[in-house]
Amino acid sequence: MGGAGTYKPTGKNDRAVLLEMIHSTTNTSAEDLLFSYKGMLYPSILCSLETFQALETFEAREDDLLVATYPKNGTNWLIQILCEIVSLVHHREPLPDATMIEFGSPEILARFKDRPSPRILSTHLDFKNIPKSFFEKKVKILLVLRNPKDTAVSFYQFHNSLPALPSYNSWATFFKDFTNGTVVYGQYFDFVATWEKHFDEKTMMAITFEEMKLDFPSAVKKISEFFQFSLTEEQIHLVANRTTFNSMKEKSENTHGKLGDSFFRKGEIGDWKNYFTEDQSKVVDTMFEKYLAGTKLGKMLNYDKYCKF
Ligand code: A3P
Protein backbone atom coordinates (compact mmCIF):
# COMPACT_ATOMS: atom_id res chain seq x y z
CA MET A 1 0.00 0.00 0.00
CA GLY A 2 1.52 3.31 -1.12
CA GLY A 3 -0.41 5.78 1.02
CA ALA A 4 -0.21 9.54 1.13
CA GLY A 5 3.09 9.53 3.01
CA THR A 6 5.00 8.36 -0.06
CA TYR A 7 4.00 11.25 -2.31
CA LYS A 8 6.93 13.12 -3.90
CA PRO A 9 6.32 16.83 -4.61
CA THR A 10 6.15 17.72 -8.30
CA GLY A 11 5.57 21.48 -8.19
CA LYS A 12 1.98 21.06 -9.46
CA ASN A 13 -1.00 22.60 -7.65
CA ASP A 14 -1.43 20.28 -4.65
CA ARG A 15 -5.14 19.95 -5.26
CA ALA A 16 -4.49 18.64 -8.79
CA VAL A 17 -1.94 16.21 -7.33
CA LEU A 18 -4.46 14.85 -4.82
CA LEU A 19 -7.18 14.52 -7.46
CA GLU A 20 -4.76 12.63 -9.69
CA MET A 21 -3.88 10.32 -6.79
CA ILE A 22 -7.58 9.58 -6.24
CA HIS A 23 -8.20 9.03 -9.93
CA SER A 24 -5.26 6.82 -10.68
CA THR A 25 -5.67 4.39 -7.77
CA THR A 26 -5.33 0.83 -8.94
CA ASN A 27 -5.81 -1.01 -5.65
CA THR A 28 -9.00 -2.99 -5.57
CA SER A 29 -9.23 -4.60 -2.18
CA ALA A 30 -11.05 -2.74 0.56
CA GLU A 31 -8.26 -3.71 2.93
CA ASP A 32 -5.71 -1.78 0.87
CA LEU A 33 -7.94 1.23 0.40
CA LEU A 34 -8.69 1.74 4.07
CA PHE A 35 -6.38 2.99 6.77
CA SER A 36 -7.25 2.85 10.46
CA TYR A 37 -6.11 5.52 12.91
CA LYS A 38 -7.29 5.79 16.53
CA GLY A 39 -10.21 3.48 15.80
CA MET A 40 -11.47 5.39 12.74
CA LEU A 41 -11.23 4.42 9.06
CA TYR A 42 -9.72 6.80 6.47
CA PRO A 43 -8.90 6.50 2.76
CA SER A 44 -5.33 5.17 2.64
CA ILE A 45 -4.63 6.85 -0.69
CA LEU A 46 -5.16 10.23 0.92
CA CYS A 47 -4.43 9.88 4.61
CA SER A 48 -1.32 8.64 6.40
CA LEU A 49 0.03 8.23 9.89
CA GLU A 50 2.77 10.79 9.14
CA THR A 51 0.24 13.45 8.15
CA PHE A 52 -1.96 12.76 11.17
CA GLN A 53 1.09 13.17 13.39
CA ALA A 54 2.09 16.38 11.61
CA LEU A 55 -1.48 17.69 12.06
CA GLU A 56 -1.10 17.61 15.84
CA THR A 57 1.18 20.64 15.60
CA PHE A 58 -0.63 22.33 12.71
CA GLU A 59 -0.60 26.08 13.27
CA ALA A 60 -3.95 27.65 12.55
CA ARG A 61 -4.24 31.39 11.91
CA GLU A 62 -6.90 33.58 13.49
CA ASP A 63 -8.25 34.49 10.07
CA ASP A 64 -8.40 30.95 8.66
CA LEU A 65 -11.80 29.93 7.29
CA LEU A 66 -12.50 26.32 8.23
CA VAL A 67 -15.28 24.25 6.68
CA ALA A 68 -16.11 21.07 8.63
CA THR A 69 -18.27 18.37 7.10
CA TYR A 70 -19.13 14.71 7.20
CA PRO A 71 -18.36 13.40 3.67
CA LYS A 72 -20.92 14.21 0.97
CA ASN A 73 -22.52 17.04 2.90
CA GLY A 74 -21.52 19.80 0.46
CA THR A 75 -17.81 20.34 1.15
CA ASN A 76 -16.86 21.22 -2.43
CA TRP A 77 -19.86 23.52 -2.74
CA LEU A 78 -18.82 25.50 0.35
CA ILE A 79 -15.17 25.62 -0.68
CA GLN A 80 -16.11 27.11 -4.04
CA ILE A 81 -18.45 29.64 -2.40
CA LEU A 82 -15.62 30.75 -0.11
CA CYS A 83 -13.16 30.88 -3.01
CA GLU A 84 -15.54 33.15 -4.93
CA ILE A 85 -16.09 35.38 -1.88
CA VAL A 86 -12.37 35.66 -1.11
CA SER A 87 -11.65 36.23 -4.78
CA LEU A 88 -14.02 39.21 -4.85
CA VAL A 89 -12.75 40.68 -1.60
CA HIS A 90 -9.03 39.97 -2.01
CA HIS A 91 -8.81 39.91 -5.84
CA ARG A 92 -7.44 36.37 -6.04
CA GLU A 93 -7.78 33.40 -8.32
CA PRO A 94 -11.13 31.73 -7.44
CA LEU A 95 -9.80 28.20 -8.07
CA PRO A 96 -8.90 26.41 -4.85
CA ASP A 97 -5.63 24.67 -4.04
CA ALA A 98 -5.75 21.65 -1.70
CA THR A 99 -8.02 22.45 1.25
CA MET A 100 -8.55 19.22 3.25
CA ILE A 101 -6.03 19.46 6.05
CA GLU A 102 -5.81 15.69 6.57
CA PHE A 103 -5.21 14.81 2.89
CA GLY A 104 -1.83 14.21 1.29
CA SER A 105 1.69 14.00 2.55
CA PRO A 106 3.24 16.04 5.39
CA GLU A 107 4.99 18.05 2.59
CA ILE A 108 1.61 19.16 1.24
CA LEU A 109 0.52 20.06 4.75
CA ALA A 110 3.73 22.03 5.31
CA ARG A 111 2.98 24.09 2.19
CA PHE A 112 -0.22 25.38 3.83
CA LYS A 113 2.19 27.72 5.70
CA ASP A 114 2.99 29.52 2.45
CA ARG A 115 -0.62 30.29 1.63
CA PRO A 116 -1.77 33.90 1.89
CA SER A 117 -4.43 34.78 4.46
CA PRO A 118 -7.26 34.17 4.67
CA ARG A 119 -6.67 30.48 4.01
CA ILE A 120 -9.68 28.40 3.00
CA LEU A 121 -9.38 25.07 4.81
CA SER A 122 -11.65 22.08 5.12
CA THR A 123 -11.84 18.84 7.02
CA HIS A 124 -13.98 15.76 7.57
CA LEU A 125 -12.18 15.05 10.83
CA ASP A 126 -14.18 14.21 13.88
CA PHE A 127 -14.34 17.15 16.33
CA LYS A 128 -11.86 15.48 18.68
CA ASN A 129 -9.21 15.14 15.96
CA ILE A 130 -9.26 18.73 14.74
CA PRO A 131 -5.88 20.32 15.57
CA LYS A 132 -6.06 22.19 18.90
CA SER A 133 -4.62 25.32 17.40
CA PHE A 134 -7.96 25.99 15.61
CA PHE A 135 -9.66 26.31 18.99
CA GLU A 136 -6.81 28.19 20.68
CA LYS A 137 -6.85 30.77 17.87
CA LYS A 138 -10.68 30.89 17.94
CA VAL A 139 -10.82 30.19 14.22
CA LYS A 140 -14.30 30.50 12.72
CA ILE A 141 -15.65 27.10 11.79
CA LEU A 142 -18.55 26.55 9.43
CA LEU A 143 -20.21 23.18 9.95
CA VAL A 144 -22.18 22.01 6.90
CA LEU A 145 -24.83 19.37 7.51
CA ARG A 146 -27.00 17.35 5.16
CA ASN A 147 -29.87 15.00 5.99
CA PRO A 148 -28.51 11.51 6.75
CA LYS A 149 -30.53 9.65 4.13
CA ASP A 150 -29.33 11.72 1.16
CA THR A 151 -25.86 11.64 2.70
CA ALA A 152 -25.94 7.83 2.67
CA VAL A 153 -27.03 7.62 -0.98
CA SER A 154 -24.50 10.20 -2.11
CA PHE A 155 -21.76 8.36 -0.17
CA TYR A 156 -22.80 5.01 -1.70
CA GLN A 157 -22.59 6.43 -5.23
CA PHE A 158 -19.27 8.05 -4.40
CA HIS A 159 -17.81 4.71 -3.27
CA ASN A 160 -18.84 3.19 -6.58
CA SER A 161 -17.43 5.95 -8.73
CA LEU A 162 -14.14 6.72 -7.00
CA PRO A 163 -11.24 4.28 -7.44
CA ALA A 164 -9.81 5.40 -4.10
CA LEU A 165 -12.74 4.03 -2.08
CA PRO A 166 -13.92 0.40 -1.81
CA SER A 167 -16.81 -0.28 -4.18
CA TYR A 168 -20.03 -2.01 -3.14
CA ASN A 169 -22.04 -4.70 -4.94
CA SER A 170 -25.28 -3.56 -3.41
CA TRP A 171 -26.94 -0.63 -1.69
CA ALA A 172 -28.01 -2.99 1.13
CA THR A 173 -24.37 -3.82 1.93
CA PHE A 174 -23.35 -0.18 1.93
CA PHE A 175 -26.35 0.70 4.11
CA LYS A 176 -25.15 -1.75 6.76
CA ASP A 177 -21.63 -0.29 6.76
CA PHE A 178 -23.00 3.27 6.82
CA THR A 179 -25.22 2.64 9.82
CA ASN A 180 -22.52 0.60 11.61
CA GLY A 181 -19.98 3.36 11.00
CA THR A 182 -17.62 1.00 9.17
CA VAL A 183 -17.04 3.56 6.42
CA VAL A 184 -14.34 6.23 6.19
CA TYR A 185 -14.82 8.96 8.83
CA GLY A 186 -17.11 6.73 10.88
CA GLN A 187 -20.76 6.97 11.69
CA TYR A 188 -22.76 10.01 10.55
CA PHE A 189 -24.74 10.38 13.79
CA ASP A 190 -21.64 10.14 15.97
CA PHE A 191 -20.07 12.89 13.88
CA VAL A 192 -23.05 15.28 14.24
CA ALA A 193 -23.71 14.44 17.90
CA THR A 194 -20.08 15.18 18.82
CA TRP A 195 -20.26 18.57 17.11
CA GLU A 196 -23.53 19.25 18.96
CA LYS A 197 -21.82 18.54 22.27
CA HIS A 198 -18.95 20.95 21.62
CA PHE A 199 -20.77 23.56 19.57
CA ASP A 200 -19.56 27.05 20.45
CA GLU A 201 -21.91 29.73 19.12
CA LYS A 202 -19.17 32.39 19.32
CA THR A 203 -16.87 30.74 16.81
CA MET A 204 -19.05 28.24 14.97
CA MET A 205 -21.99 28.37 12.62
CA ALA A 206 -23.93 25.48 11.17
CA ILE A 207 -25.74 25.57 7.84
CA THR A 208 -27.62 22.82 6.04
CA PHE A 209 -27.39 21.64 2.46
CA GLU A 210 -31.20 21.80 2.35
CA GLU A 211 -31.39 25.43 3.50
CA MET A 212 -28.81 26.33 0.85
CA LYS A 213 -30.89 24.63 -1.84
CA LEU A 214 -34.06 26.40 -0.72
CA ASP A 215 -32.80 29.98 -0.55
CA PHE A 216 -29.30 30.13 -1.93
CA PRO A 217 -28.68 33.93 -1.94
CA SER A 218 -29.72 34.13 1.74
CA ALA A 219 -27.36 31.26 2.54
CA VAL A 220 -24.45 32.99 0.76
CA LYS A 221 -25.22 36.18 2.70
CA LYS A 222 -25.28 34.27 5.99
CA ILE A 223 -21.97 32.55 5.18
CA SER A 224 -20.24 35.78 4.17
CA GLU A 225 -21.50 37.60 7.27
CA PHE A 226 -20.34 34.78 9.54
CA PHE A 227 -16.82 35.08 8.13
CA GLN A 228 -17.08 38.89 8.35
CA PHE A 229 -16.94 39.65 4.66
CA SER A 230 -19.21 42.48 3.71
CA LEU A 231 -20.55 41.82 0.23
CA THR A 232 -22.97 43.96 -1.71
CA GLU A 233 -26.29 42.42 -2.81
CA GLU A 234 -24.85 42.31 -6.32
CA GLN A 235 -21.77 40.42 -5.13
CA ILE A 236 -23.91 37.95 -3.20
CA HIS A 237 -25.88 37.16 -6.34
CA LEU A 238 -22.69 36.90 -8.36
CA VAL A 239 -21.26 34.34 -5.91
CA ALA A 240 -24.56 32.43 -5.86
CA ASN A 241 -24.74 32.36 -9.68
CA ARG A 242 -21.17 31.12 -9.98
CA THR A 243 -21.75 28.28 -7.50
CA THR A 244 -25.08 26.76 -8.53
CA PHE A 245 -24.93 23.02 -9.13
CA ASN A 246 -25.04 23.46 -12.92
CA SER A 247 -22.39 26.12 -12.94
CA MET A 248 -20.05 24.03 -10.75
CA LYS A 249 -20.70 20.89 -12.80
CA GLU A 250 -19.92 22.76 -16.01
CA LYS A 251 -16.60 23.96 -14.57
CA SER A 252 -15.80 20.64 -12.92
CA GLU A 253 -13.26 19.52 -15.47
CA ASN A 254 -11.28 22.59 -14.54
CA THR A 255 -11.75 22.20 -10.79
CA HIS A 256 -11.88 18.39 -10.39
CA GLY A 257 -10.35 17.02 -13.59
CA LYS A 258 -11.65 13.60 -14.58
CA LEU A 259 -13.50 13.24 -11.27
CA GLY A 260 -16.00 16.04 -11.99
CA ASP A 261 -18.99 13.75 -12.47
CA SER A 262 -18.20 11.90 -9.22
CA PHE A 263 -18.20 15.08 -7.16
CA PHE A 264 -21.17 16.71 -8.92
CA ARG A 265 -23.70 13.91 -9.31
CA LYS A 266 -27.27 15.17 -8.77
CA GLY A 267 -27.12 17.88 -6.11
CA GLU A 268 -30.74 17.28 -5.08
CA ILE A 269 -32.81 16.76 -1.97
CA GLY A 270 -34.72 13.49 -1.62
CA ASP A 271 -32.83 11.08 -3.90
CA TRP A 272 -32.84 8.68 -0.90
CA LYS A 273 -36.46 7.77 -1.69
CA ASN A 274 -35.16 5.95 -4.79
CA TYR A 275 -32.95 3.70 -2.63
CA PHE A 276 -34.29 3.21 0.90
CA THR A 277 -36.68 0.42 1.83
CA GLU A 278 -39.27 1.11 4.54
CA ASP A 279 -37.18 -0.94 6.98
CA GLN A 280 -33.96 0.92 6.19
CA SER A 281 -35.79 4.19 6.61
CA LYS A 282 -36.99 3.10 10.06
CA VAL A 283 -33.45 2.13 11.10
CA VAL A 284 -32.21 5.66 10.34
CA ASP A 285 -35.31 7.21 12.01
CA THR A 286 -34.48 5.29 15.18
CA MET A 287 -30.85 6.44 15.05
CA PHE A 288 -31.94 10.03 14.59
CA GLU A 289 -34.18 9.74 17.69
CA LYS A 290 -31.35 8.20 19.70
CA TYR A 291 -28.60 10.65 18.75
CA LEU A 292 -30.16 13.93 17.69
CA ALA A 293 -33.84 14.30 18.63
CA GLY A 294 -34.35 17.54 20.55
CA THR A 295 -30.84 18.84 19.85
CA LYS A 296 -30.05 22.14 18.14
CA LEU A 297 -28.32 20.54 15.15
CA GLY A 298 -31.03 17.86 15.01
CA LYS A 299 -33.69 20.59 14.71
CA MET A 300 -31.71 22.30 11.96
CA LEU A 301 -31.85 19.09 9.92
CA ASN A 302 -35.64 19.45 9.70
CA TYR A 303 -35.83 15.67 9.84
CA ASP A 304 -39.58 15.19 9.41
CA LYS A 305 -39.59 17.36 6.30
CA TYR A 306 -36.61 15.81 4.57
CA CYS A 307 -36.38 12.26 5.90
CA LYS A 308 -39.89 10.85 5.89
CA PHE A 309 -41.53 8.97 3.00
P1 A3P B 1 -25.06 14.09 -4.67
O2 A3P B 1 -24.18 12.92 -4.69
O3 A3P B 1 -26.35 13.83 -3.93
O4 A3P B 1 -25.32 14.68 -6.01
P5 A3P B 1 -19.05 16.79 -1.03
O6 A3P B 1 -18.58 17.98 -1.76
O7 A3P B 1 -19.04 16.98 0.47
O8 A3P B 1 -18.36 15.55 -1.48
O9 A3P B 1 -20.60 16.62 -1.36
C10 A3P B 1 -21.01 16.17 -2.62
C11 A3P B 1 -22.52 16.35 -2.76
O12 A3P B 1 -22.81 17.75 -2.87
C13 A3P B 1 -23.01 15.68 -4.06
O14 A3P B 1 -24.34 15.25 -3.81
C15 A3P B 1 -22.94 16.87 -5.01
O16 A3P B 1 -23.72 16.72 -6.17
C17 A3P B 1 -23.48 17.98 -4.12
N18 A3P B 1 -23.13 19.32 -4.62
C19 A3P B 1 -21.90 19.77 -4.97
N20 A3P B 1 -21.98 21.03 -5.41
C21 A3P B 1 -23.29 21.40 -5.34
C22 A3P B 1 -24.01 22.59 -5.66
N23 A3P B 1 -23.41 23.66 -6.16
N24 A3P B 1 -25.35 22.59 -5.45
C25 A3P B 1 -25.98 21.50 -4.95
N26 A3P B 1 -25.35 20.34 -4.63
C27 A3P B 1 -24.02 20.29 -4.82
Report the residue count for the chain: 309
Q: Is the CB of 76 under 6 A from ligand 1?
A: yes
pLDDT of residue 24: 87
- 151 CA distance to ligand 1 centroid (A)? 10
Domain count of the fold of the chain: 1
Residues of the chain with pLDDT under 70: 1-12, 27
Identify which of 90, 100, 81 has the alpha carbon closest to the alpha carbon of residue 238: 81
Q: Is the CB of 264 under 6 A from ligand 1?
A: yes
Q: Are 146 and 210 in contact (CB under 8 A)?
A: yes
pLDDT of residue 295: 98
Reading phi first (left if > 0) and then psi (alpha if -120 to 50, else beta), residue 199 is in beta
Predicted confidence (pLDDT) per residue in 239-281, tens digit: 999 999 999 999 999 999 999 999 999 999 999 999 999 999 9
pLDDT of residue 12: 67
- 216 CA distance to ligand 1 centroid (A)? 14
What's the CATH code of the domain at 172?
A: 3.40.50.300
Assessment of whether the complete model's pTM goes beyond 0.85 = yes
Spell 141-153 as b/e; 16+ CB within 10 A means b.
bbbbbbbbbbbbb
Q: Is the CB of 208 under 6 A from ligand 1?
A: no
User: Which residue is closest in CA terms to ligand 1's atom 5?
Assistant: 72
**90 counts as catalytic:** no
pLDDT of residue 29: 85
Out of 69, 76, 149, 273, mutate this one to test ligand 1's pocket (max ligand atoms within 8 Å of CB): namely: 76
Cα–Cα distance between 169 and 251 in angstroms, integer?
Answer: 31
Cα–Cα distance between 147 and 303 in angstroms, integer?
Answer: 7
Q: Is the CB of 75 under 6 A from ligand 1?
A: yes
Cα–Cα distance between 97 and 94 in angstroms, integer?
Answer: 10
Domain range holding 158? 3-306
CA distances, 95 to each of 14, 64, 79, 102, 299 (Å) = 12, 17, 9, 20, 34
